[in-house]
Chain A
Amino acid sequence: MDHFGLLGLPRQYAIDRDALERAYLERAQAAHPDRFVGASSAEQRSAMERSASLNEGYRVLRDPVRRAEYLCRLAGIDVDSSEPEGGAPAMGQAFLMEMIERREAVEDARREGPSALDELRDGVEGELDDALDRAVSALQQGDSRRAAEALVERRYLQRLLDELDDEVER
């Protein structure tokens, strides 16, 4: 069963956060290993597995990016995989070249000082939100391919942001 089914929620991006919270707490309590102290070892094991699945499902569904990536995976595109078939879609040359140039710009900004880094950082944060928005609207139109492309673009941008954060902390 997928994470949505496990938590009794419709398989879609839009999610009622309160309903997710309630569904998780109810089910997690019912499956809690403490309730199975006197049960057979098979029942204990199955309760433990169910708890682990619920925790994993909750962790994925409550996070907007992970939820979007998970919907792509259910549609047959695994953005965690580098396989050409069914893995993360490859980006075009122009995009990759732009990513190289922007990484180089981080090196320049480091020499210029903190305010140059902050400026770059603010821009990237806006683009991250924009990429997720594009992924969500593609998912809502049932276009998981385009959603996966936007999510992969987001991953490259996330790495750029991580690097900027490392620079700021240095």
Chain B
Amino acid sequence: MAYSDKVIDHYENPRNVGSLDKGDESVGTGVVGAPACGDVMKLQIKVEGGVITDAKFKTYGCGSAIASSSLVTEWVKGMKIEDAMEIKNSQIAEELSLPPVKIHCSVLAEDAIKAAIVDYQKKHGGA
């Protein structure tokens, strides 16, 4: 399959690979998986004053899954958490020109950022 230039760029030079301290009160962690293919993705955010100041990811999967999560960590830095909650997989798929068979990779990245925010909110007594 032919990957777009943007996918290849993120795949070869992934941004923000790594981990934040899961136990830190200011960190939210989201872990999601694609059951049909076995890909797993961990996305973490550090939140200060309602704003995401850092984001890290680790994705074990195909190039599109790595690119989707890499892109999301770039996007969310500096965003308010409520704005990050609004990120849609269609925006990710469009930015990376993902083909239809790889749309589920962008869904995974959307699920991961949402899960990270929910985890952060839980730590702070939110919904």
Task: Report if A and B associate in a common complex.
Answer: yes
* B interface residue numbers (CB < 8 A to A): 31-40, 42, 58, 60, 104, 107
Partner of A91 from the list B35, B60, B107 (CB cut-off 8 Å) is B35
Task: Contact check, A159 vs B35: say whether CB atoms are below 8 A apart.
Answer: no
Q: Is the CB of A79 within 8 A of B40?
A: no
In the complex the two chains form, what is the Cα distance from A115 to B119 in whole Å? 37
A41 CB–B CB distance under 8 Å:
no
| In the complex, per-residue mask of A82-97: 1 if CB is within 8 Å of any chain B CB, else 0 | 1000011111010011
Give A100 to B36 CA distance when docked, in angstroms. 17
Is the pair A96, B60 in contact by a Cβ cutoff of 8 Å? no
User: Do B40 and A100 have beta carbons less than 8 Å apart?
Assistant: yes
Query: Is there an interface contact between B31 and A159, defined as CB atoms closer than 8 Å?
Result: no
Q: What size tier do the contact residues of chain A reach?
A: 20 to 34
Query: Is B38 touching A82 in the complex (CB atoms < 8 A)?
Result: no
Inter-chain pairs besides A100-B40, A104-B58, A160-B38, 17 sampled, C-beta below 8 Å: A79-B36, A80-B36, A82-B35, A82-B36, A88-B36, A91-B33, A91-B35, A96-B32, A97-B42, A99-B33, A100-B31, A103-B40, A152-B35, A155-B36, A155-B37, A155-B38, A156-B40
Residues of A within 8 A of B104 (CB): 82
Q: Which residues of A contact B (CB under 8 A)?
A: 79-82, 87-91, 93, 96-97, 99-100, 103-104, 152, 155-160, 163
For the complex, give the distance between the alpha carbons of A79 and B36 in Å: 6
> Is there an interface contact between A88 and B35, defined as CB atoms closer than 8 Å?
yes
Query: Which of A80, A82, A91, A100 is in CB contact (< 8 Å) with B58?
Result: A100
Query: What CA separation (Å) do A160 and B61 show in the bound complex?
Result: 10
Distance in Å from the Cβ of A79 to the closest Cβ of chain B?
Answer: 6
Chain B residues with Cβ below 8 Å from A157 are 38
List the 5 shortest-distance A-B pairs measured between CB atoms, nearest first.
A159-B38, A88-B35, A155-B38, A103-B60, A96-B31
For B34, what are the chain A residues with a Cβ–Cβ distance below 8 Å?
Answer: 82
Query: A90 contacts B36, CB within 8 Å?
Result: no
| CB-defined contacts of B35 to chain A, threshold 8 Å | 79, 82, 87-91, 152, 155-156
